[in-house]
Amino acid sequence: MAQTRVQHFSISLDGFGTGEGLSQEAPFGHAGQKLHQWMFATRWGKTMFGQAGGTRGVDDAILRTFDVGIGAEIMGSNKFGYPGWQDDAGWDGWWGEDQPFHTPVFVMTRHKRAPLAMEGGTTFHFTDAPPAEVLAMAKEAAGGRDVRIGGGVRTLRAFLAEGLIDHMHLVQVPVVLGRGQRLWDGLEGIEQRYDIELTPSPSGVVHMMFTRKG
Amino acid sequence: MAQTRVQHFSISLDGFGTGEGLSQEAPFGHAGQKLHQWMFATRWGKTMFGQAGGTRGVDDAILRTFDVGIGAEIMGSNKFGYPGWQDDAGWDGWWGEDQPFHTPVFVMTRHKRAPLAMEGGTTFHFTDAPPAEVLAMAKEAAGGRDVRIGGGVRTLRAFLAEGLIDHMHLVQVPVVLGRGQRLWDGLEGIEQRYDIELTPSPSGVVHMMFTRKG
């Protein structure tokens, strides 16, 4: 049975999934790389940037489940680009030639565009449909495989609030960001719908696995 | 060298140390016992309420460090009583004959009272002095032993903001409370001042040990 999954979405101790002051130069605002350093230290992370080395521990192993069984991704407009990308006709995402997706990707935005085919099998589809409808489209496109909800914070919150997530992997990073976009807002009591498994890594992060109760 | 310590202060996934709607009947408001169930399941917790049984795992072991080396406690008015206790001349705290302190306890409140001697060696002192001064008094009273900062949230935040905490044991409970008093507000970047050790318990909580950098 195909699932709707969240993979390695990093949050701070105080629950922020991104900082304040997002821009083209600072995709995560004042958070900088604080939420993702753990990722860049792994072999998977190094490889993504064409570098050698990196750790092979639990962080690396879990990162490698990123695309296991995934047939499509859904992301919000805040993940696809900086605030204002909609007015930049040439903007085609952050990833250039290093597209990590290799599947159809549905970008939720009020500013519709024609589909955009990238290298390596990624095609961006732009849609202003509500979460449940976008999920139906993505499932169709995924051809029986899983759908990844890629973020950002508002998108993840919307899918959680509507009960659309089957499995969620959060990574709690031991920093206090103080400001930005908070994942948990409006999700009081959500733990009652999930079994939660927590695994701390020697890197200092805690992998939090939320599996929807049967 | 005597330390200023926080012992087993429970917070939710979204960082709340207490809920909303505090009252004499609901000391933690809408949070009920959600933040402290892990504690009541241990042998230490059962004993505190005169019951038999309870777990002997990591939760129990860490709880037993509650009074190790402690010579005094400091607490805020929100820990000592319900909102409005200051107008209740007979209010002497929540603990009745089960005083867990056995030391001088300094209660930070604008409503000063005469010291209150309880059973088992606990004496409540009421003071309107600022954090650093209260800490100096508590250290004096502790006679070379450690001082515990007992909470609530605002008190803990105040002592953290002023850099007065040497060691802090937080317990992250896997619930999303959604509202209440949040520990992390105003503490951006505080992780830079501490080494952090995270230990997940089979009970589902994560013990977070913050040790001030040398």
Count residue pairs from A and B with Cβ separation < 8 A: 69
Find which of A191, A192, A207 to mutate to test the B interface (most B CBs within 10 Å of its CB). A191
For B38, the enclosing helix (H) or strand (E) is helix B37-40
CA distance B8 to B207: 8
In chain A, what are the domain boundaries? 4-16+31-80+132-212
pLDDT tens for chain B, residues 1 to 214: 899 999 999 999 999 999 999 999 999 999 999 999 999 999 999 998 889 999 999 999 999 999 999 999 999 999 999 999 999 999 999 998 878 999 999 999 999 899 999 988 999 999 999 999 999 999 999 999 999 999 999 999 999 999 999 999 999 999 999 999 999 999 999 999 999 999 999 999 999 999 999 8
- Which two three-digit tokens encode residue A128? 């202003």
pLDDT of the residue at A84: 95
The answer to whether the CB atoms of B177 and A188 lie below 8 A apart is yes
Q: Are A172 and A208 in contact (CB under 8 A)?
A: yes
Helix (H, G, I), strand (E, B) or coil at B210: strand
* Residue where the block lists tokens 């319900």: B82
Give CA–CA dist B183/B197, Å, rounded. Answer: 18
- Please name the member of B179, B184, B199 whose beta carbon is closest to the beta carbon of A14: B184
Q: What pLDDT does A98 receive?
A: 79
Q: What is the CATH T-level fold of the domain A4-16+31-80+132-212, as seen in this structure?
A: Dihydrofolate Reductase, subunit A (3.40.430)
B162 touches chain A (CB under 8 A): no
Alpha helices in B70-178 (DSSP H): 77-80, 131-142, 153-161
Q: Which residue of B has its CA nearest to A173?
A: B191
ipTM of the complex: 0.91
Identify the residue whose tokens are 């930049």.
Answer: A88
d(CA A147, CA A49): 24
| Chain A residues lying within 8 Å of B193, measured CB to CB | none
The distance from CA A72 to its chain's CA centroid, rounded to whole angstroms, is: 12
How far B110 CA sits from the closest chain A CA (Å)? 29
Residues 1-40 of A with CB under 8 A from B: 13-15
Q: Read off the DSSP letter of residue A177.
A: -
Write the DSSP assignment of A51-83 as a string of letters. Answer: ----B-SHHHHHHTTTTTTEEEEEEEHHHHSST
Domain boundaries B4-16+66-83+97-212, corresponding CATH code: 3.40.430.10
Cα angle value A33/A35/A36 (rounded, 5°): 65
* A156: its two tokens: 């993840």
pLDDT for residue A97: 81
Split chain A (214 residues) into runs of 10 and give each run's mean pLDDT.
Answer: 96 97 96 97 92 96 96 97 94 90 97 92 96 98 98 97 98 98 96 96 97 94
